[in-house]
Amino acid sequence: MKYANLGRSGAKVSRLVLGTMNFGPYTDETDAHAIMDRALAEGINFFDTANVYGAEDHTGWTEEIVGRWLAKSDHREQVVLGTKVFGRMSDRPNDRGLSALHIRRAVDVSLRRLQTDHIDLYQMHHIDRDTPWNELWQAMDTLVAQGKIIYVGSPNFAGWHIAAASEAARSRHPLGLVSEQSLYNLTARHLELEVLPAAQHYGLGVIAWSPLAGGLLGARPADGGSRRLRPRAQENAERLGERLDRWQAFCAERSLDPAVTALAWVLRQPGVLGPITGPRTMTQLEAALPAVDTELDADTLAAIDDIFPGPGGPAPEAYAW
């Protein structure tokens, strides 16, 4: 496994991130624990979850599964553990968002589910347009002072949100954001316009979620049958049909594994800390591991860009001239 700093922090994290969103709804607890055991044995020390993961009638289910795994072992000090806050946890009006009130309550509940006394990376799952930055950073500063969290991250922020959050933190003198988790893969390269440049400017490590575009960039079923896709992936499959056919042909001609190559491409992008692999099965975890050591030469990267072109560079050059 290869490691990198968590943004501009001094913490070292694996360049493959273990995503746990499938644990509970799609992967039972026994298999989830086995996957976490194997991931840690392979050197993956960065685990990502969220308080809202689980099922509609069982929010927090995934945190509970991770918490029971941590409680039955001595792995806690080996893992850099990230979870998230923002999503609706109940019908109560203050049980969602990023108000100081909700953050204070949500972190304590997450700590109980995870059976730990601190969260290494506490991430804002979405921008909260109703909460001022000073309130948000006051809440996060308090949690750091209490020892309940160490670092703060920002999934799903726009470039200007990263700038606004970082400047608000700078005025208060805390460390501020150290990571940004965003949708990024060969079929969705809009981050290159503003999010990646903003993250690099402010020293955030970018974590790519859905690096295989919901499975579209992986190998097709060997029997030629159709793959069961979630609604968003199904829509993308219909929209990107010709490019996906070219991708499969390109990988076949060069004897490349499509999923490994797609993950390796993400790992090669400037400013990207690493992709999240969110396995439902042990086989899916094992299939992702070679990506860290897979090198892509300039010709291969150019050919990939031809199939899945980016936006043309950072803003405003990409569209101004």
Q: What is the pLDDT of residues 185-205, one digit of tens each?
A: 999 999 999 999 999 999 999
pLDDT of 174 strictly over 90: no
Q: What pLDDT, on a 0 to 100 scale, did the predictor assign at position 94?
A: 85
Q: Are 32 and 72 in contact (CB under 8 A)?
A: no
Q: Is the pTM of this model over 0.85?
A: yes
- Parallel, antiparallel, or unpaired: how do β-strands 12-14 and 54-55 relate? unpaired
**Of these residues, 3, 26, 53, 319, which one is catalytic?**
53
Burial 46-67 (b: 16+ CB within 10 A, else e): bbbbbbbbbeeeebbbbbbbbb
Question: What architecture does CATH give domain 3-320?
Answer: Alpha-Beta Barrel (3.20)
- Give me 167's structure tokens: 């400047």
Q: What is the DSSP letter of 188?
A: B
Instruction: Give me the pLDDT at residue 221, please.
Output: 60
- Exposed (0-12), middle (13-18) or buried (19+): which is 78, by Cβ within 10 Å? exposed
CB 139 within 8 A of CB 103: yes
**Residue 151 annotated among the catalytic residues of the structure:** no
Instruction: Using CB atoms within 10 Å of the CB of residue 82, give its burial: 0 to 12 exposed, 13 to 18 middle, 19+ buried.
Output: buried
Per-domain residue ranges for the chain? 3-320
List pLDDT tens digits, range 222-276: 544 445 566 777 788 888 889 999 999 999 999 999 999 999 999 999 999 999 9
